[in-house]
Each structure stands twice: as C-alpha cells, then as structure tokens.
Amino acid sequence: MSIHAKEDILYKEFIEHFKSYGEEDSLCFDGLCYNGELYNEDRNCKKGNEEELWEGSKRRILFLMKDPNNNPGQDYREWGWSLFTHSTFKIMFAWLKGLSIITRTDYLVLEQAYQKYDTAYPLAILNIKKASGLSNVTNTKIWEYAERDHVLLKKQIRDILQPNIIVCGGGSGTVIEVAKTFVYNDLDFIQVNSWCYYNSENNILLIDSWHPTARLSHSQKYDNMMKHVQEFMNLYPNAF
C-alpha cells in the first residue's frame, strides 16, 4: 500500500478520534506533501512523484511542527507549496534543501537554498496539534495534544513515513521532547551537540531547531543548523 493510501486511512482515523472531542471541524491534516500539477488557481497541488522521491531518499526529512495556523478542514499535503513565498515557509524550504545536500565538508549558503520550494526534494510536514489554531499556542497545549493523540502521531511517523531526520520546530524544546517521549519512547538518543540528538542503532537524527517564525535572522536559523549538523556528520561519518 502506498504512503498516501496509508495516510488517507489515518486521516479517517483522526477524524473519528477528533469527533470524540467534538473537534472534527478543526482538524487540519498533513504528511507527505504533493508536488504535482497545480490547480484551483494554483492554490492546490495534485499528487506527483513525491512518494518515489521519498522512498528513494537517503535522507527522509520530516518537519515536526507545533500546530497549523487558522486552517481548519484543510490538508497540508495538497497545498500549492511550490508557489509559497512567505518567509516562514521559505526558511523551511532552505532547511530542506540544505539538509538534503550537506556534506561533512560543505553546505549550501543561505542564498543558494533560500528560494521557492524545490520539488526535487520531498517535503513532509506534520503538526503535533492537528486542531487548527491561531498565531500562538502554548507549549502546555502542544504537550496536551501530543499526550492525547500520540497513538496516531506515532503511527504516522514511525509506521507510515519512517523519516530518519526529524526537524523539531521550536517550543523551547517542547517539540523534541514530544518526539522523544511519545514517538520514539523506546529509543535512546545521544546528545551530540545543542542541536543534534542521535540514535545510531536506527540511524535517526532529531534536530532541536528554532521554530521557523523565531525572531532571529534567517541566516542565524539556517547557518546554525547547518554547522551543528555538519559537526554531527563528522562525528558520525557513516550516518546518512
């Protein structure tokens, strides 16, 4: 069964799960994003070759974020990502391209990576709190949803997507703690540096990143990640 078919089944499971809390109308789904033909005045995207790219990637990079901003009833997977120019997503696209290409000795400078989404690299985004929110959400609320929905979150990440690099987006460490506590609760991660946590047995890297909207320059958000990942790669040259 394809990744999208599995996620479509999971989507229905999330709807039923959210119904038990009276929140089914707030659900905003996500996962492996489509990269095919644009339609609906370029607001949406059809399925393309993203599954083939994902399954063939040495580095399957998942962005684990906090919650969607005012998008109830939508599905991240079918958004027209290739035309997004908002700075929040542009830094994510830069991280994606940078992490996909980085080596032990070199990485793209921000100006090379900071552009529209390059569909040559598969994009996967998953929000911990899939109930659509507003511009801000507390870390306590994120943790509550993680605890409540962790069975389905774990299923989407470990059973369906199976990423090996997870960029944990902010929350002052809350997002990476959610990953370690609820998704990879049976695995031990060694802290390599202030950004990188590694499980060598399963070759899984957790990156404790700033949120894309953090009030820092994009060069800080990008260069600091790349430098710390490069440090990790030199300590673990056989990873990825």
Give the domains, in start order, of the chain with CATH numbers.
3-235 (3.40.470)
pTM above 0.85, yes or no: yes
Residues of the chain short of pLDDT 50, as ranges, are none
The pLDDT score that the predictor gives to residue 161 is 98
The pLDDT score that the predictor gives to residue 31 is 98
**Helix axes 218-235 and 87-101, enclosed angle (nearest 10):** 20
The pLDDT score that the predictor gives to residue 86 is 85
Measured CA to CA, the distance from residue 108 to residue 102 in angstroms comes to 7
The pLDDT score that the predictor gives to residue 81 is 92
* CA distance between the termini of the chain: 26
The pLDDT score that the predictor gives to residue 87 is 83
The pLDDT score that the predictor gives to residue 227 is 98
- Are 105 and 71 contacting, i.e. CB atoms less than 8 angstroms apart? no
H helix and E strand count, the chain: 7, 9
The pLDDT score that the predictor gives to residue 140 is 95
- Are 230 and 195 contacting, i.e. CB atoms less than 8 angstroms apart? no
The pLDDT score that the predictor gives to residue 133 is 77
Measured CA to CA, the distance from residue 45 to residue 164 in angstroms comes to 25
Measured CA to CA, the distance from residue 21 to residue 23 in angstroms comes to 5
- Are 143 and 42 contacting, i.e. CB atoms less than 8 angstroms apart? no
Both tokens of 20, joined, read: 């038990």
Q: Using one digit for the tens of pLDDT, what is the confidence trace for 214-235? A: 889 989 999 999 999 999 999 9
